[in-house]
Amino acid sequence: MEAAATRCYRHPSYETYVRCTRCDRYICPDCMREASVGHHCVECVKEGQASVRRARTVFGGAVGGGAVPLVTYVLMALNILAYMVEVVRSGTVDRFGMLGAVLVDQDGGQYYYRGETYSGLELTGVADGEWYRLLTGAFLHLPPDTSFGVMHLVFNMFALWDLGRIVEGQLGRARYLALYLLSAVGGSVLVYLVSPETTAVGASGAIFGLAASFYVINRRLGRDMRAVNRFMAGFLLWMVISAAFTSWEGHLGGLLTGGLVTFGLAYAPAKLRTSATQLAGGVVLVVLLAAVVAVRTASLTGTL
- pLDDT tens-digit series, residues 216-274: 999 998 888 888 889 888 878 877 777 666 788 999 999 999 999 999 998 888 777 78
What is the Cα gyration radius of the chain? Answer: 27
Strands (E), 162-217: 199-200
User: What residues contact residue 276 under an 8 Å CB cut-off, 6+ apart?
Assistant: none
Quote the longest CA-to-CA distance of the chain: 104
Decide if 87 contacts 144 (C-beta within 8 A).
yes
Per residue in 115-136, pLDDT tens?
677 776 778 899 989 999 999 9
Write out the catalytic residue numbers. Answer: 204, 251
CB atoms within 10 A of CB 160: 23
Looking at the structure, give the CATH architecture of the domain made up of residues 70-301. Up-down Bundle (1.20)
129: left (phi over 0), alpha (psi -120 to 50) or beta: left
Model-level pTM? 0.79
- Sketch the domain layout of the chain as residue ranges: 6-50, 70-301
> What is the distance between the alpha carbons of residues 280 and 16, in angstroms, rounded to a whole number?
52
